[in-house]
């Protein structure tokens, strides 16, 4: 069975939590005791209907305020796929939470209220989903029941969204007219939309082709941990443990190890269940090399003719994630990228991007909480990175404040050459 | 870019193997970046899967950290036996924090009455054990599908010097880049099987073919009914006068303290039958079998804030 990770974005009023609740309920992935608890809570609050949103809002503060604050993860499975939902808040003050949920998603489920059409926050959600490299978009035009299932409303939103999305990189967009509250086109096909010939939401989630989203071309194996048992029959064993971040590795492949640049071949690819003939993303394996080299955590194994950029100059889009400080030129942070940790100096904030209008403000002098901008770093060690758009595993990094130890920023590599 | 021939196969990785890889990645990351990790082991199915994943992550080396058990003194004997045998087989060090010893020493006071449980007493003993052994990372087998507060918790869950979880102030956690930095006295709880569901766990146990304590399969045992749940009789839990004891064929869906873990009526005495029952069940495992989560809508959130698993 395949696994699909998707994130849902939209504000409370778009009915996002209701949509998830509806999907879980109609797919029979809600348990009776959870349902009873939600019914009880709705009754206690005096709601006129059972509020499906209560299924996903897990924290006391969220239930009290009726909003989603943090990312919540939900799980369900159909006979065809296992799904992991990152349910993310849509308000601008929770942009960092949306970025978090989007970072691992294969698909973004974006909700738009049919009555309001494309609004500022729809544009923001689409932009962030694209920035985080989510390969598939599903735009659910919700509350279609409140616009009398008018096809023209749906088509208008489709046209507007498509026009806006043409300004950035999106590989695949699907539009579905739904009513989360009533369940139309969520799991079961609606009789109210004879003009809609596409799939229901669940059917689309089950069928969307994701196998090709991984990078199966550029071999990238960041060494995570060196396994040296130094005992008994494995006395001389030396294996490099890690998770394949790109490409397909096979025993006998010629490889180079960065930063040393030494060339060798893959002796074997080991797992607890025995040696294997091929390793590809996202498998966690242990690689043994033919030659005895000095290889340690933070090194990168790749192919001689296909190497990541090795550079101390990194040009990246950064989302700032703390309100305790701002990102400013000349500040220093710890950078964690794959298994590599370096320190980075902010050389330049090239511009801040207005995430509602996409306007680039080149006069900006800092990035505050939830702001996104293009930043140039100089690092103490070279990073072995690819463009984020080409490889989300080797093109991403986090920034850590060395005073507070907090994760303060998320970065997506544009290039590792110093340009412009 | 020409160094790979065009591929004709799909390179699909099943959901269980994807989850396994993610968990192994997390185990390795912690061991690479922390100085003194430990793995919380309860003998439950989740911690048995955790042990197997740890074994896989470091093979052919041994598991490079001790196994920690907070023993309430009210555990199922089958589980204690299993714990000791597995630790021996794997050659790992076993650290036991004892609630009974803390009570005997007078640092904790046992609850009394027919509904007494040592569930809450585990937290101070756990924190004391972490402090005594100076663990800077503690692996736990919590899953996000178990409970709605857990659905919000990070894989790396930061704990302050009092072991407390602050749900409103969690570190952002992106991609597979985990931030384990902390000050002296603080620690990180790490949940490598966050993304597994109950069904995933059972399917994995079946696919891997490993042993689990016998109480997970249907067996005859004396039980009594309380709050609509089947409670096992034991030296630690006695029925009230209006709660008649009877023999029933049952299995356990979760394994915790004998005082607050209920059984479910079941004839499933093979793994295959257990999986078929779990796949068809309409009640969550905690809702069905854990008296400790029934206190209030936010029972788990409150206990986690105090430093619970």
Does A84 reach chain B within 8 Å, measured CB to CB? yes
Task: Tally Cβ neighbours within 10 Å of residue B120.
Answer: 13
What residues of A are in contact with residue B197 (Cβ under 8 Å)?
75, 77, 82
Decide if A220-302 and A309-415 have a common fold. Answer: yes
Does A393 reach chain B within 8 Å, measured CB to CB? yes
Separation CA A77–CA A81 (nearest Å):
6
Instruction: Please spell the DSSP secondary structure of A167-215, one letter per residue.
Output: TS--SEEEEEE-BTTTTBTTTB--TT-TT--S--HHHHHHH---GGGS-
Strand-pair partners of A93 = none
Across the interface, of A61, A211, A270, the residue whose CB is closest to B168 is A61
Does A238 reach chain B within 8 Å, measured CB to CB? no
Give how far Cα A90 sits from Cα of A194, A301, A401, B289, Å: 31, 39, 26, 35
**Residues in CB range of A261: below 8 A, 6 or more apart:** none
pLDDT, tens digit, 9 for 90 and up, residues A24-81: 877 766 666 666 776 777 667 666 566 666 666 555 555 555 555 678 888 888 888 9
The answer to whether B222 and A100 are in contact (CB under 8 A) is no
Separation CA A118–CA A156 (nearest Å):
9
Q: A217–B297: do the CB atoms touch at under 8 Å?
A: no
Task: Tally Cβ neighbours within 10 Å of residue A194.
Answer: 9
Across the interface, of B20, B145, B175, the residue whose CB is closest to A396 is B175
pLDDT, tens digit, 9 for 90 and up, residues A311-330: 999 999 999 999 999 999 99
The class level of CATH for A309-415 reads mainly beta
Structure tokens at A40: 């009880």
**Residues in CB range of A363: below 8 A, 6 or more apart:** none
* Interior/surface letters A9-19, b for 16+ CB within 10 angstroms, e for the rest: bbbbebbbbbb
Structure tokens at A336: 């964690």
A120/A281: higher pLDDT = A281
pLDDT, tens digit, 9 for 90 and up, residues B285-304: 766 666 555 444 555 666 56
In terms of Cβ atoms closer than 10 Å to its own Cβ (0-12, 13-18, 19+), residue B298 is middle
Separation CA A88–CA A90 (nearest Å):
6
Please give the sequence-ordered ranges of beta strands (E in DSSP) within A247-290, or none if there are none.
254-258, 262-270, 284-289
Instruction: Please spell the DSSP secondary structure of B214-244, one letter per residue.
Output: GGGS-EEEEEEEETTEEEEPBTTB---TTS-
The answer to whether B51 and B90 are in contact (CB under 8 A) is yes
Domain layout of chain A by residue ranges:
3-212, 220-302, 309-415
**A320: closest chain B residue by CA:** B172
Q: A227–B58: do the CB atoms touch at under 8 Å?
A: yes
What residues of B are in contact with residue A282 (Cβ under 8 Å)?
13, 18, 21-22
What residues of B are in contact with residue A227 (Cβ under 8 Å)?
58-61
Does B190 reach chain A within 8 Å, measured CB to CB? no
A119/A134: higher pLDDT = A134
CATH 3.40.50.300 is right for the domain spanning A3-212: yes
* Chain B 60-79, residues with CB within 8 Å of chain A CB atoms: 60-62
Rg of chain A on CA atoms, in Å: 24
Instruction: Please spell the DSSP secondary structure of A331-375, one letter per residue.
Output: -EEEEEETTEEEEEEEEEEEEEE-TTT--EETT---B-TT-EEEE
- The mean pLDDT of chain A is 89
pLDDT, tens digit, 9 for 90 and up, residues A90-121: 777 788 888 999 999 999 999 999 999 988 88
The residue-averaged pLDDT of B213-218 equals 89
* Chain A 191-230, residues with CB within 8 Å of chain B CB atoms: 211, 214, 216-219, 224-225, 227-229
pLDDT, tens digit, 9 for 90 and up, residues A227-245: 998 777 888 899 999 999 9
Sign of CA dihedral A15, A18, A19, A20: positive
Separation CA A269–CA A259 (nearest Å):
21
Q: What is the pTM for the complete model shown?
A: 0.91
Give how far Cα B53 sits from Cα of A197, A272, B48, B62, B204, Å: 45, 10, 9, 12, 11
pLDDT, tens digit, 9 for 90 and up, residues A200-230: 999 999 999 998 888 999 999 999 999 998 7
**A83: closest chain B residue by CA:** B15
CATH 2.40.30.10 is right for the domain spanning A220-302: yes
pLDDT greater than 90 at residue A259? yes
As a residue count, chain A comes to: 420
Separation CA A138–CA A107 (nearest Å):
7
B123/A43: higher pLDDT = B123
Task: Tally Cβ neighbours within 10 Å of residue A251.
Answer: 18
**Structure ipTM:** 0.92
Separation CA A156–CA A140 (nearest Å):
13
Q: A211–B11: do the CB atoms touch at under 8 Å?
A: yes
pLDDT, tens digit, 9 for 90 and up, residues B186-214: 889 999 999 999 889 999 999 998 888 88
Does A95 reach chain B within 8 Å, measured CB to CB? no
Give how far Cα B185 sits from Cα of A283, B1, B95, B163, B261, Å: 34, 49, 19, 9, 33
């Amino acid at each position: 069975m395949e696994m699909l990770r998707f994130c849902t974005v939209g504000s409370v009023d778009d009915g996002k939590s209701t949509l998830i609740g509806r999907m879980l309920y109609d797919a029979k992935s809600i348990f009776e005791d959870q349902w009873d608890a939600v019914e009880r809570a709705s009754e206690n609050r005096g709601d006129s209907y059972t509020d499906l949103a209560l299924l996903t809002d897990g924290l006391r503060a969220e239930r009290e305020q009726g909003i989603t604050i943090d990312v919540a993860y939900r799980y369900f499975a159909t006979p065809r796929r296992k799904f992991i939902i990152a349910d993310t808040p849509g308000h601008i003050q929770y942009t960092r939470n949306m970025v978090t949920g989007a970072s691992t998603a294969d698909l973004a489920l974006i909700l738009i209220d049919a009555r309001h059409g494309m609004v500022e926050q729809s544009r923001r959600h689409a932009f962030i989903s694209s920035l985080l490299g989510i390969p598939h978009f599903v735009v659910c035009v919700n509350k279609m029941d409140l616009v009398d299932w008018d096809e023209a409303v749906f088509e208008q939103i489709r046209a507007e969204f498509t026009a806006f999305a043409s300004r950035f990189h999106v590989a695949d967009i699907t539009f579905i007219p739904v009513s989360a509250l009533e369940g139309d086109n969520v799991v079961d096909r609606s009789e109210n939309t004879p003009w809609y010939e596409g799939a229901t939401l669940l059917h689309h989630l089950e069928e969307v082709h994701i196998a090709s989203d991984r990078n199966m071309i550029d071999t990238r194996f960041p060494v995570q941990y060196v396994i040296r048992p130094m005992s008994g029959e494995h006395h001389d064993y030396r294996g490099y443990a890690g998770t394949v971040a790109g490409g397909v590795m096979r025993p006998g492949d010629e490889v180079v190890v960065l930063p040393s640049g030494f060339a060798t071949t893959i002796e074997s690819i080991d797992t607890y269940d025995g040696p294997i003939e091929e390793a590809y993303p996202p498998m966690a394996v242990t690689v043994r090399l033919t030659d005895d080299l000095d290889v340690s955590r933070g090194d990168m194994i790749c192919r001689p003719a296909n190497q990541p950029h090795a550079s101390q100059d990194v040009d990246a889009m950064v989302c700032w994630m703390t309100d305790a400080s701002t990102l400013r030129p000349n500040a220093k942070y710890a950078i964690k990228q794959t298994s590599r940790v370096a320190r980075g100096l902010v050389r330049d904030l090239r511009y801040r991007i207005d995430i509602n209008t996409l306007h680039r403000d080149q006069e900006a002098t800092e990035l505050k909480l939830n702001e996104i901008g293009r930043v140039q770093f100089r690092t103490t060690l070279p990073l072995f990175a690819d463009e984020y758009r080409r490889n989300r595993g080797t093109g991403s990094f986090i920034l850590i404040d060395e005073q507070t130890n907090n994760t303060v920023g998320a970065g997506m590599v544009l290039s590792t050459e110093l340009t412009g | 870019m020409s160094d790979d021939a065009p591929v004709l196969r799909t390179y699909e990785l099943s959901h269980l193997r994807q989850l396994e890889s993610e968990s192994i990645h997390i185990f390795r990351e912690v061991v690479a970046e922390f100085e003194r990790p430990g793995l919380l082991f309860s003998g439950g199915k989740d911690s048995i899967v955790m042990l197997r994943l740890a074994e896989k992550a470091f093979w052919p080396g041994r598991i490079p950290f001790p196994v920690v058990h907070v023993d309430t003194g009210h555990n199922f004997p089958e589980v204690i036996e299993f714990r000791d045998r597995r630790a021996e087989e794997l050659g790992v060090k076993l650290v036991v924090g004892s609630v009974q010893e803390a009570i005997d020493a007078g640092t904790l006071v046992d609850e009394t009455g027919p509904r007494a449980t040592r569930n809450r007493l585990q937290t101070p003993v756990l924190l004391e054990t972490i402090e005594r052994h100076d663990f800077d990372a503690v692996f736990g087998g919590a899953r996000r599908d178990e409970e709605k507060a857990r659905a919000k918790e990070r894989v790396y869950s930061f704990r302050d010097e009092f072991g407390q979880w602050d749900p409103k102030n969690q570190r952002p956690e992106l991609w597979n880049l985990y931030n384990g930095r902390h000050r002296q006295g603080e620690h990180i709880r790490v949940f490598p099987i966050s993304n597994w569901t109950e069904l995933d766990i059972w399917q994995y146990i079946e696919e891997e073919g490993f042993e689990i304590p016998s109480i997970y399969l249907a067996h005859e045992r004396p039980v009594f009914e309380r709050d609509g749940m089947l409670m096992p009789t034991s030296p630690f839990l006695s029925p009230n006068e209006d709660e008649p004891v009877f023999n029933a064929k049952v299995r356990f869906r979760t394994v915790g303290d004998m005082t607050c873990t209920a059984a479910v009526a079941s004839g499933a005495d093979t793994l295959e039958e257990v999986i078929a029952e779990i796949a068809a069940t309409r009640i969550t495992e905690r809702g069905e079998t854990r008296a400790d989560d029934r206190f209030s809508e936010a029972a788990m959130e409150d206990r986690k804030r105090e430093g619970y698993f």
